[in-house]
């Protein structure tokens, strides 16, 4: 948070289209605090109404956590944020622009604002570390090999990978789990995104590895000044790293706020979530008796 977001490419050509500022809509302008504002988002798959009117604000430069039970639609919501899915209804304002009406080409440009860190790093096993990290650059731009190597090596250094012997030529199966996570993070960071999305980054990890990933998320937020959106079902890690926490339940955001505000919430779904995690004693468990 001690750095401004990295510069990105120009906004899409149709920025300002849609319900523009002429209507006096406060959502239709860049807000210092809120980078993404979701309003009334609905998504149905066949008979299944997964998102039922999502309202959500994502705070710029902060670590925003989305919690909720499995199958509640967390991944579906995240895919909407970066334009991988189109909603049936609702708006997604990114820096004051409703991106829902964007065509494929505008979406392509918008997506460069985002970096995505996948659960199992999702690296290509047949490519070495440099090729994996550089992949988004090679796909998007014509850069010289020297420019690419400079950016890759800078990230290897910043992510504490530069001192691993022969790291550049290694393929993912030759790396430890933690190293793979950091290579996946490097690939998400290589195009200097403003917003980093993590979908359940600690699933399947033991408590020590979970703590390391938490540390990596916090450190990245501080060092790169990015806005982080993290989907999690791990309550301990949620409260360790979250600046803002929002709970998705039955298609809506039912609780949102700072960790203190969320812990104080009386919403039954939230209480159940917190209490099953063992983070706090049950309400009626006799703790105060």
Q: Which is nearer to Mg ion, 254 or 263 (CB)?
A: 254
Q: Which is nearer to ligand ADP, 119 or 212 (CB)?
A: 119
Number of residues that bind Mg ion (CB under 5 A): 2
Q: Is 227 in the site for Mg ion (CB under 5 A)?
A: no
Q: Is 228 in the site for Mg ion (CB under 5 A)?
A: no
CB atoms within 10 A of CB 16: 14
**Could you tell me whether strands 89-94 and 97-98 are parallel, antiparallel, or unpaired per DSSP bridges?**
antiparallel
Which of 75, 91, 179, 220 touches Mg ion by CB under 5 A?
Answer: 75
Tokens of 190: 């290589």
Min CB(116)–Mg ion separation in Å: 13
Tokens of 26: 């406060």
**Residue in the structure block whose two tokens are 């920025």:** 15
Rounded Cα distance between 180 and 264, Å, is 37
72 binds, among Mg ion, ligand ADP, none (CB under 5 to 8 A by kind): ligand ADP
Q: Which is nearer to Mg ion, 16 or 69 (CB)?
A: 69
Q: Per CB under 5 A, which of residues 10..49 are in contact with Mg ion?
A: none
Q: Which is nearer to ligand ADP, 33 or 86 (CB)?
A: 86
Min CB(71)–ligand ADP separation in Å: 5
Number of residue whose CB is nearest Mg ion: 75
Burial status of residue 149 (CB atoms within 10 A of its CB: 0-12, 13-18, 19 or more): middle
Burial status of residue 176 (CB atoms within 10 A of its CB: 0-12, 13-18, 19 or more): exposed
Cβ neighbors of 44 (< 8 A, separation 6 or more) are 50, 88
Residues in touch with ligand ADP (CB under 6 A): 45, 48, 50, 68, 70-76
Q: Which is nearer to ligand ADP, 73 or 83 (CB)?
A: 73
Instruction: Give the binding range for Mg ion (CB under 5 A) out of 69-77, 115-123, 236-244, 280-288.
Output: 69-77
Residue 18 to residues 88, 92, 96, 170, 193: CA-CA distances in angstroms?
A: 16, 11, 11, 47, 24
Q: Which is nearer to ligand ADP, 45 or 124 (CB)?
A: 45
Min CB(82)–ligand ADP separation in Å: 14
Min CB(281)–ligand ADP separation in Å: 27
**Closest of 231, 247, 226, 238 to residue 56, by C-alpha:** 247
Residue 170, helix vs strand vs coil: coil
**Closest of 218, 221, 249 to residue 233, by C-alpha:** 249
Instruction: Give the binding range for Mg ion (CB under 5 A) out of 68-76, 99-107, 113-121, 238-246.
Output: 68-76
Q: Which is nearer to Mg ion, 118 or 135 (CB)?
A: 118
Q: Which residues bind Mg ion (CB under 5 A)?
A: 74-75
């Amino acid at each position: 948070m001690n750095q401004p977001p990295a510069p990105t490419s120009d906004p899409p050509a149709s920025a300002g289209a849609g319900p523009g500022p002429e209507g006096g809509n406060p959502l239709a302008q860049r807000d210092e605090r809120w980078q993404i504002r979701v309003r009334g988002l609905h998504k149905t798959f066949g008979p299944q109404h997964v998102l039922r009117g999502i309202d959500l604000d994502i705070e710029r430069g902060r670590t925003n956590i989305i919690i909720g039970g499995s199958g509640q639609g967390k991944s579906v919501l995240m895919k909407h944020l970066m334009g991988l899915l189109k909603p049936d209804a609702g708006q997604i304002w990114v820096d004051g622009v409703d991106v829902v009406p964007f065509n494929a080409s505008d979406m392509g440009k918008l997506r460069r604002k985002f970096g995505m860190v996948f659960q199992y790093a999702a690296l290509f096993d047949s490519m070495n570390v440099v090729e994996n990290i550089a992949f988004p650059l090679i796909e998007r731009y014509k850069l010289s090999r020297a420019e690419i190597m400079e950016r890759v090596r800078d990230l290897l250094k910043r992510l504490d990978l530069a001192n691993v012997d022969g790291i550049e030529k290694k393929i993912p199966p030759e790396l430890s789990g933690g190293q793979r996570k950091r290579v996946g993070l490097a690939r998400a960071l290589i195009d200097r995104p403003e917003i980093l999305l993590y979908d359940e980054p600690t699933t399947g990890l033991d408590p020590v590895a979970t703590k390391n990933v938490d540390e990596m998320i916090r450190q990245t937020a501080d060092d790169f000044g990015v806005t982080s959106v993290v989907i999690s079902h791990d309550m301990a890690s949620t409260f360790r790293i979250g600046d803002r926490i929002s709970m998705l339940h039955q298609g809506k955001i039912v609780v949102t706020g700072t960790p203190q505000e969320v812990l104080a919430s009386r919403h039954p779904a939230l209480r159940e979530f917190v209490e099953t995690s063992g983070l706090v004693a049950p309400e009626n468990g006799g703790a105060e008796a």
